[in-house]
């Protein structure tokens, strides 16, 4: 891990992992509910949770849907260890520790990609979207939900980015459609909303068949 911004972010979540769920309970409850009410995963799909954290979303996916394969990926070993404990002995779940910019999966590996609460931590959004386009099957769906750098949220985002040890690289929803289109991902839905001092966007996009 050669990028110091990435290393600081991963180390922060390693140290936070044991108390992450309780420390951010309201935020996690809200964001996971918002995503869960929108996502639709076909039975038998192959699914990647790109930054799975402690596996909260993975558990919800297994409860609500019937994927043939669920991969929970996170570069923080501390967070991934909690996810392993939460989902131990479930046969169709595997765990990986790749950076989002360097996802080491074969081309066309997944029917569904989910990226929740993590896009603003990535140092290179273009590299991440290139990886998403590469590993998603043609006709597959990307679900992306994250902070929205628009309006008054610029101030709290600036405060967090100034004082937090994490890398903060927040994107505005208005830019997402164009970014996705550049990688063959056609937007199907885009929602915006606010919760407490956060602004969020949710987007779902399908990878072109050609």
Q: What is the dihedral sign for C-alpha 209, 132, 53, 32?
A: negative
The pLDDT-based confidence of 2 (bands split at 50, 70, 90) is low
Cα-only R_g, the chain: 16
Instruction: Map residue 130 onto helix, strand or coil.
Output: helix
Nearest to 112 by CA among 146, 68, 82, 75: 68
% of the chain surpassing 90 pLDDT: 91
CA distance 139 to 35: 20
Q: For 69, list phi and psi in degrees, rounded to 5.
A: -150, 135
What does the block give as tokens for 210?
Answer: 């050609």
CA distance 54 to 191: 25
pLDDT computed for residue 5 by the predictor: 85
pLDDT computed for residue 191 by the predictor: 97
Over residues 41-97, the pLDDT tens digits come to 999 999 999 999 999 999 999 999 999 999 999 999 999 999 999 998 898 999 999
Over residues 18-51, the pLDDT tens digits come to 999 999 999 999 999 999 999 999 999 999 999 9
Over residues 153-163, the pLDDT tens digits come to 999 999 999 99
CATH of 4-34+43-207, one of 3.20.20.70, 3.40.50.150, 1.25.40.20, 3.30.1490.70: 3.40.50.150
Q: Which residues of 59-81 are buried (b: 16+ CB within 10 A; e: fewer)?
A: bebbeebebeebbbbbbbebbbb
Over residues 129-155, the pLDDT tens digits come to 999 999 999 999 999 999 999 999 999
> DSSP state, 102?
G
CA distance 156 to 11: 23
């Amino acid at each position: 891990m050669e990028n110091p911004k990435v290393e600081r972010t991963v180390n922060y979540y390693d140290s936070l992992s044991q108390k992450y769920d309780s420390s951010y309970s309201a935020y996690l409850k809200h964001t996971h509910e918002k995503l869960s009410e929108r996502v639709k995963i076909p039975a038998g799909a192959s699914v990647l949770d790109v930054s799975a954290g402690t596996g909260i979303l993975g558990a919800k996916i297994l409860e609500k849907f019937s994927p043939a394969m669920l991969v929970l990926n996170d570069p923080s070993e501390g967070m991934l260890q909690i996810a392993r404990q939460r989902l131990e002995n479930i046969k169709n779940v595997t765990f990986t520790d790749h950076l989002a910019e360097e996802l080491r999966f074969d081309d066309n590996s997944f029917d569904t990609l989910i990226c929740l609460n993590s896009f603003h931590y990535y140092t290179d959004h273009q590299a991440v979207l290139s990886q998403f386009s590469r590993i998603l099957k043609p006709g597959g769906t990307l679900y992306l939900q994250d902070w929205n750098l628009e309006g008054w949220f610029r101030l709290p985002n600036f405060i967090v980015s100034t004082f937090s040890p994490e890398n903060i690289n927040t994107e505005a929803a208005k830019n997402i459609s164009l970014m996705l289109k550049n990688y063959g991902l056609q937007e199907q839905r885009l929602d915006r909303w606010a919760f407490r001092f956060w602004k969020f966007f949710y987007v779902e996009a399908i990878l072109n068949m050609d």
